[in-house]
């Protein structure tokens, strides 16, 4: 990153020297391994020290086929994993990529989840709600929480998908004591229903047992996150969400991911935002903007 | 720095206090609290984004280029970077005339009620792009009713050549005709509304022409009130693994630190040949960069790509660096700096 400072020579009267570096350079990385996660999602592995935190994302460029923001499924330290679903032009092409192909990776980008409360103390009991592809960052956050000393029994990992075939990473946290709650819309796996019903039950049960859930985290479709946020507000629980907006550049320049009315860019000042910020962002759960910048209602 | 001002520095031996340093400028009759103007194309599509830049210390803000119809722009990658600068081909994405005018109106309204009184008068510069002289005039006419203080004509975008051909800024005759047509359209608005619009027209010029001063002179004669110089420089960056251009549009406009010497020369040449003020844009990343463009002849300075290299608070940083430099060099007003290279 940049270094701003005075000229080091004491006798030198010249004014401030600003050293500039490229804040988010693109790295061309080789695909080391590809795994099929479910009927629609493939995982791509790259050997590269990304130094990411749960909630951050990368811009992925497939030469000749475009560039898109992607969440980071898992950061192993020396390598990282992206779980990519075939949902659009770029991701469809990416899913055809082979081991040994090169892709451009820029990042990690954006803000990340914090495991502290508003008094900067480590949280004790948390609920993580992931819908669809939000499962990756939520699982990463659960793993980080355990590393930081949270008891697995105090972590509720709630993850939902439309059907069994589309579930992601539900085995990742099995066997380490985290409370894993799975829902499918059609009941083909786990409980039939929606994540929000499970969250309500988790919160109610915790209250019965006189346990306070300190913070709720969520990544997934916006209206699901809005419902999660509403539960958090109703129960007076701290909350962090991942507010995704149409991103063209991912590095704070083009302005397509700017939210109303704060003007903040969800690729730089977001995508992970806390309770106070969510309150200010009046468009949350109401509308987003398309590639032209026009509003699209939810 | 001249020998004379060096002597002055030695004699006094202390820097002036902040209060005596005046960084405000008068640009085309409009007072800016500092000379830094958010350049068109960077975080400026919505009312919220314009206000965010003003809250981060921009003296004025320019909107993203507005076209009659909404435009999606090019597919990503739209931006590629390295330490020397940035190459972009956004492709003039914008929500179209009607939505954009609503955004400007909203920005004006929200600014007029802003809790920080100092920001309430911050100027908004509209920016228009079209493919024909008639459409330029038509769009300019509508945007002039949005409440923006100035209007910039983008006749130099380097990234839509495949779609629309050579930009107007390459041809002095066409550039002048276009300027005339827009001025005439604004006169019509004045007649219709029986109000004096007092809306300066800035013409944004391209650096990749044999003689930029000639084009500047032509648009001045056609009634332009100011010149914005310069737009980005056409460029290309390849990925060495595949040997292919990185941008979806293949080529793009180069901006950032390494564009500055080109901007300085263009501004210098324009200043020599016209009387209207110049909004100098190109590579300004630090306070010293801004001062260099002003010395070449810029009355105000556009800042865009610096948002990438130094963050959205680059306006505050650059402004602080200007003040620091002025203190060190015993200069109390930017008037002493503007056009210094010519004296």
Q: Is A264 on the interface with B (CB under 8 A)?
A: yes
Distance of CA A92 to the CA centre of its chain: 21
Helix (H, G, I), strand (E, B) or coil at B58: coil
What would the mean pLDDT of A140-154 be, rounded to a whole number?
A: 96
* Contact (Cβ atoms closer than 8 angstroms) between residue A117 and residue A123: yes
pLDDT in tens, A249-284: 999 999 999 999 999 999 999 999 999 999 999 999
* Contact (Cβ atoms closer than 8 angstroms) between residue A249 and residue A61: no
CATH number of the domain where residue B196 is located: 3.20.20.70
B85 occurs within a structural domain: no
Contact A260/B42, CB-based, under 8 Å? no
* Contact (Cβ atoms closer than 8 angstroms) between residue B338 and residue B267: no
Q: At what angle do helices B260-273 and B212-221 cross, to 10 degrees?
A: 50
**Whole-complex ipTM:** 0.91
Least confident stretch, A21-35, A130-144, B138-152, B169-183:
A130-144
pLDDT in tens, B113-149: 999 999 999 999 999 999 999 999 999 999 999 999 9
Domains of chain A and CATH, by start: 26-109 (2.40.30.10), 113-242 (3.40.50.80), 244-298 (no CATH)
* Contact (Cβ atoms closer than 8 angstroms) between residue A166 and residue A132: yes
B62 occurs within a structural domain: yes
- The sign one gets for the Cα dihedral B169, B173, B175, B178 is negative
Partner residue facing A28 (CB), from B47, B241, B285: B241
Q: Is B6 on the interface with A (CB under 8 A)?
A: no
B120 occurs within a structural domain: yes
Q: 């209207």: which residue's tokens? A: B276
Contact A15/B82, CB-based, under 8 Å? no
* Contact (Cβ atoms closer than 8 angstroms) between residue A216 and residue A227: no
Q: What is the dihedral of CA B33, B35, B40, B45, to 10 degrees?
A: -20
Domain count, chain B: 1
* Contact (Cβ atoms closer than 8 angstroms) between residue A263 and residue B51: yes
Q: How far apart are the first and last CA of chain A?
A: 38
The one-character DSSP state at B71 is B
Boundaries of domain holding B279? 35-71+91-234+255-318
Query: Which of A288, A293, A294 should be substituted to probe chain B, the one whose Cβ sees the most B Cβ atoms within 10 Å?
Result: A293
pLDDT in tens, B35-84: 999 999 999 999 999 999 999 999 999 999 999 999 999 999 999 999 89
Indicate which residues of B carry an active-site annotation.
Answer: 157
**In angstroms, what is the C-alpha Rg of chain B?**
20
């Amino acid at each position: 990153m940049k270094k701003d400072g005075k000229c080091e020579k004491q006798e030198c009267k010249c004014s401030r020297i600003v050293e500039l570096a490229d804040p988010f350079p693109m790295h061309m990385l080789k695909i080391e391994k590809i795994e099929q996660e479910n009927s629609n999602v493939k995982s791509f592995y790259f050997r590269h020290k990304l130094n990411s935190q749960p909630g951050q994302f990368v811009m992925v460029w497939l030469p000749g086929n475009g560039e898109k923001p992607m969440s980071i499924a898992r950061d192993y330290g020396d390598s990282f994993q992206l779980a990519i679903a075939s949902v659009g032009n770029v991701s469809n092409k990416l899913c055809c990529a082979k081991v040994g192909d090169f892709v451009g990776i820029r990042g990690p980008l954006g803000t990340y989840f914090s495991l502290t409360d508003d008094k900067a103390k480590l949280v004790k009991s948390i609920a993580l709600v992931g819908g669809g592809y939000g499962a990756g960052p939520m699982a990463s956050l659960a793993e980080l929480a355990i590393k930081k000393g949270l008891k697995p029994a105090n972590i509720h990992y709630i993850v939902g998908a439309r059907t069994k075939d589309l579930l992601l990473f539900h085995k990742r946290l099995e066997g380490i004591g985290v409370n894993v709650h799975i829902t499918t819309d059609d009941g083909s796996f786990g409980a039939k229903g929606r994540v929000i019903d499970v969250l309500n039950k988790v919160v109610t049960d915790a209250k019965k047992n006189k346990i306070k859930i300190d913070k709720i985290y969520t990544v997934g479709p916006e209206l699901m996150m809005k419902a999660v946020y509403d539960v958090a507000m109703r129960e007076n629980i701290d909350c962090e969400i991942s507010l995704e907006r149409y991103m063209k550049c991912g590095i704070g320049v083009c302005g397509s991911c700017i939210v109303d009315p704060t003007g903040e860019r969800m690729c730089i000042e977001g995508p992970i935002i806390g309770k106070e910020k969510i309150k200010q962002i009046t468009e949350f759960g109401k509308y987003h903007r398309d590639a032209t910048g026009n509003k699209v209602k939810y | 720095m001249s020998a004379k001002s060096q002597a002055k520095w030695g004699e006094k031996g202390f820097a002036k206090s902040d209060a005596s340093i005046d960084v405000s400028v008068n640009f085309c009759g409009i007072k800016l609290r500092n000379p830094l103007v958010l350049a068109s194309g960077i975080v400026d599509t919505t009312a919220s984004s314009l206000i965010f830049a003003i809250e981060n210390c921009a003296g004025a803000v320019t909107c993203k280029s507005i076209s009659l119809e909404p435009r999606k722009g090019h597919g990503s990658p739209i931006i590629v970077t390295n330490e020397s600068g940035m190459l972009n081909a956004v492709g003039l994405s914008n929500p179209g005339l009607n939505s954009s005018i609503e955004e400007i109106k909203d920005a004006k309204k929200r600014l007029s009620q802003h809790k920080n009184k100092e920001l309430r008068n911050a100027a908004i510069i509209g920016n228009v792009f079209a493919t024909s002289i008639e459409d330029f005039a038509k769009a300019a006419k509508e945007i002039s009713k949005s409440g923006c203080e100035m209007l910039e004509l983008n006749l130099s975008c380097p990234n839509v050549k495949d779609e629309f051909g050579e930009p107007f800024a390459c041809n002095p005759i066409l550039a002048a005709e276009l300027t005339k047509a827009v001025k005439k359209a604004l006169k019509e608005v004045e007649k219709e509304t029986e109000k004096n619009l007092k809306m300066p027209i800035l013409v944004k010029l391209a650096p990749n022409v044999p003689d930029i001063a000639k084009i500047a002179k032509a648009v001045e004669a056609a009634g332009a009130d100011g010149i914005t110089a310069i737009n980005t420089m056409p460029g290309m960056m390849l990925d060495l693994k595949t040997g292919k251009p990185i941008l979806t549009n293949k080529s793009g406009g180069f901006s950032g630190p390494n564009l500055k010497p080109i901007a300085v020369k263009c501004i210098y040449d324009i200043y020599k040949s016209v009387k209207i003020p110049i909004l100098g844009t190109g590579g300004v990343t630090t306070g010293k960069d801004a001062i260099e463009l002003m010395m070449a002849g810029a009355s105000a300075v556009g800042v865009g790509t610096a948002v990438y290299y130094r963050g959205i608070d680059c306006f505050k940083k650059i402004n602080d660096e200007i003040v620091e430099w002025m203190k060190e060099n015993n200069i109390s007003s930017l008037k002493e700096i503007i056009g210094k290279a010519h004296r």
